[in-house]
Amino acid sequence: MSEAAARVPLSAVVTTYNNAATLERCLASLAFCDEIVVLDSDSTDATRAIAQRFGARVDIEPFKGYGPQKQSAIDRAHHDWVLLLDADEHLSEAGRIAIEHELRAPRADGYRLPRQEWLFWRWSHPGTRGNWQLRLFRRSCGRMNEVPVHAAPEIEGRAIDLDAPFLHYGEPRLQDRVDKINRYSSGLVEYKRARRPALLGLRLLLYPPLAFAKLYFGKRYFLNGWAGYFAARTQAFYAFLKYAKLYEAGRKREDL
């Protein structure tokens, strides 16, 4: 019996919107899965044609938020085990081998996988600590959380780390990164609208430098030269901007 036949059935799940530039690489890395589910938010580029060429089951649904959209895609999977990737991510060959081996006799209900980042003009140094994220799990045990921007799956059951790397193509330009930071920080204001300015002061002062230190030193982004410095500095700016916008929103409510 082959390894593919011996493991539990696996559904790959991807949400898309105008991802023609990266989708082919993503879906090629998922060819070993028993099905590929693509939920598209009415793309206007070649996204759907690429997905169909790879044999994916393609559905179209208007975008209703990061978490709800991903959950809708997960709900369309035929199998209990799902592998969740974004359209600008792809699974490494080592990752595929590790997943195939693990799912022959699963030890847990969910697995955190290490994500390697594209930092503006280079891949992160091998010594940089990966961002471990829950991406492989039994959908009967988990759902997407309700965080508006950084929505992620959560499970009721055992979750462990699995050394199955996947790669993320981040923003290729500093301008793109800043634009994303601005969108994401604005998206968090409504979600955390109950917070008041008095509760944000310390975070506004202390969290941005801590965010920089955590990434630059804690995760060893200093190994990536200026690309690592840019990544850590923009992460600190994101930390500042989200709390500054929350503070601003709270002051406006107090003035009403």
- pLDDT tens, residue by residue, 110-125: 999 999 999 999 999 9
Tell me, what's the pLDDT at 4? 46
d(Cα 76, Cα 67) in Å, to the nearest integer?
15
Mean of the per-residue pLDDT values of the chain? 90
Residue-range domains of the chain with CATH: 3-168 (3.90.550.10), 174-255 (no CATH)
Tell me, what's the pLDDT at 190? 64
Report whether pLDDT(255) > 90: no
Report whether pLDDT(193) > 70: no
pLDDT mean over 32-56: 97
Confidence at 191, pLDDT banded by 50, 70, 90: low
pLDDT mean over 138-158: 89
Report whether pLDDT(45) > 50: yes
Tell me, what's the pLDDT at 201? 79
pLDDT mean over 211-234: 96
pLDDT mean over 16-33: 97
pLDDT mean over 221-241: 95
HEC profile of the chain: CCHHHHCCCEEEEEEECCCHHHHHHHHHCCCCCCEEEEEECCCCCCHHHHHHHCCCEEEECCCCCHHHHHHHHHHCCCCCEEEEEECCEEECHHHHHHHHHHCCCCCCCEEEEEEEEEECCEECCCCCCCEEEEEEEEHHHEEECCCCCCCCEEECCCEEECCCCEEECCCCCHHHHHHHHHHHHHHHHHHCCCCCHHHHHHHHHHHHHHHHHHHHHHCCHHHHHHHHHHHHHHHHHHHHHHHHHHHHHHHHHHHC
Report whether pLDDT(196) > 60: no
Give the pTM. 0.85
Tell me, what's the pLDDT at 188? 74
pLDDT mean over 86-113: 97
Confidence at 249, pLDDT banded by 50, 70, 90: confident
Tell me, what's the pLDDT at 6? 84
